[in-house]
Amino acid sequence: EMQLLESGGGLVQPGGSLRLSCAASGFTFSSYTLTWVRQAPGKGLEWVSGISGSGDRRFYADSVKGRFTISRDSSKNTVYLQMNILRGEDTAVYHCAKDGALGGYMDVWGQGTTVTVS
């Protein structure tokens, strides 16, 4: 069974940092783009960042560019999101998700980890 399990969320002060992890299992890790999507309390889904299967291409939403860094470690089947200079508007549940076989749509999602900036 394909699974994604996020960790690393918590309460942090504005201007602080946090690193989220997403451990993958049940599929060939290096074959798929992985994405971070967040959801602020009571709001909709927002794409945050994506990284290609090989890790050589990384993309960011304008709202986090220059503050967040996505990376992946194939030896650990884990994708990371390093979040610096955190702001109140970064408060959200952060989900990682895997691209589907044909790319672009996300067929496996983790349950999410909560980040509170206050």
Q: For residue 36, count other CB atoms closer than 10 A to its CB.
A: 27
Q: For another protein, which residue of 18, 79, 112, 117 counts as binding (CB under 8 A)?
A: 112
Pairwise CA distance, residues 28 & 40, whole Å: 30
By CB under 8 A, which span of 9-17, 18-26, 38-46, 79-87 interacts with another protein? Answer: 38-46
Cα-based distances in Å from 100 to 7, 14, 74: 22, 35, 18
> Considering beta carbons, is residue 9 or 112 the nearer one to another protein?
112
Binding-residue pattern over the window 51 to 90 for another protein, x denoting contact by CB under 8 A:
-x------x-x-----------------------------
Pairwise CA distance, residues 19 & 98, whole Å: 19
Q: For another protein, which residue of 47, 67, 82, 114 counts as binding (CB under 8 A)?
A: 47
